[in-house]
């Protein structure tokens, strides 16, 4: 038979094990359970995430969770970042708000989460306030999404509701910066365009690949030294050029596993801008244009 002290210690260890098994967190992702709020359905939990990308999964949601998404840096550029979130197809059980100084703005109601649409907002607009919708049976309810911190231009390009000019052409300075800082940069031409519900998928053939963060473009053969791949753009922007209409400098970012177009000037226009900057000593990086 267990002594009272040993029984007490075992019960404490068991409670600690249950508590830690109900949630886990690091600086990038959080996984929690509403079972920790059982009997306290109005509890509000604070979560702090400080990575450029990660995820959240809340099982059996009850009460509310406030998610503070902040870059792990204090540079002035950090204040100009956007947060993009992409709910999973089976995410439900909560409404997601933006909380700024106690004022809530509905960002993603429960029915919209199942659409899996990427939604973005400025990092300075507030924290995420995720409120559980009261249900008698919470056993089948899970709220989950991925998030990424992105630059203003990229974040705007993915959430058409939050920008004033989604299809505005890049300035010369933006073109030069895109050639230096984008996730992928390549010289090539358009092969075809497919229209989808909220985006267009552009098939491009790359004759010279400067860089790619992940394999957006797959090689088409050793001898040919060409690459092909698909790049997305917002459907509202349309594609102003089609197959056989010359070469472009394609730049862009990888978001949630998809390649999204950034600046895409005609290659001859990029050459003019780049050479002018090179002669003036204002080009932000070197690009091998030979």
Q: How confident is the model at residue 246 (pLDDT cuts 50, 70, 90)?
A: confident
Please tell me the distance from the alpha carbon of residue 166 to that of residue 11, in angstroms, as a whole number: 58
Q: Are 123 and 81 in contact (CB under 8 A)?
A: yes
pLDDT of residue 13: 37
**Model pTM score:** 0.65
**Going from the N-terminus, what domains does the chain have, and what CATH number goes with each?**
23-161 (2.60.120.290), 167-280 (2.40.50.120)
Residue 204 has pLDDT above 50, yes or no: yes
Please tell me the distance from the alpha carbon of residue 248 to that of residue 204, in angstroms, as a whole number: 10
pLDDT of residue 213: 86
Pairing outcome for strands 184-195 and 199-212: antiparallel
- Percent residues over pLDDT 90 in the chain: 44
Please tell me the distance from the alpha carbon of residue 31 to that of residue 105, in angstroms, as a whole number: 24
Q: In the Cβ-directed half-sphere of 88, how many Cα atoms lie within 13 Å?
A: 15
Q: Are 159 and 166 in contact (CB under 8 A)?
A: no
């Amino acid at each position: 038979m267990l002594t009272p002290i040993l029984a007490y210690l075992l019960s404490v260890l068991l409670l600690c094990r249950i508590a830690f098994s109900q949630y886990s967190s690091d600086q990038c992702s959080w996984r929690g359970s509403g079972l920790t709020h059982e009997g306290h359905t109005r509890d509000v939990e604070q979560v702090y995430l400080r990575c450029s990308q990660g995820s959240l999964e809340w099982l059996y949601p009850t009460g509310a969770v406030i998610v503070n998404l902040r870059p792990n840096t204090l540079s002035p550029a950090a204040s100009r970042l956007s947060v993009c979130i992409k709910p999973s197809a089976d995410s439900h059980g909560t409404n997601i708000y933006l909380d700024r100084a106690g004022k809530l703005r509905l960002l993603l109601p429960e029915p919209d989460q199942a659409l899996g649409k990427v939604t973005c907002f400025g990092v300075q607009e507030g924290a995420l306030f995720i409120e559980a919708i009261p249900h008698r049976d919470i056993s089948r309810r899970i709220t989950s999404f991925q998030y990424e911190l992105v630059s203003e231009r990229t974040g705007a390009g993915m959430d058409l509701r939050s920008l004033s000019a989604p299809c505005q052409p890049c300035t010369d300075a933006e073109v030069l910066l895109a050639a230096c800082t984008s996730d992928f940069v390549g010289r090539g031409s358009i092969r075809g365009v497919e229209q989808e519900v909220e985006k267009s998928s552009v098939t491009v053939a790359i004759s010279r690949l400067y860089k790619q963060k992940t394999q957006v473009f797959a090689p088409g053969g050793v001898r040919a030294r060409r690459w092909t791949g698909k790049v997305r753009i917002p459907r509202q922007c349309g594609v102003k050029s089609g197959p056989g209409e010359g070469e472009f400098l394609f730049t862009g970012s990888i978001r949630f596993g998809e390649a999204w177009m950034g600046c895409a000037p005609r290659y001859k226009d990029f050459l003019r801008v780049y050479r002018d900057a090179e002669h003036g000593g204002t080009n932000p990086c070197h690009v091998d244009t030979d």
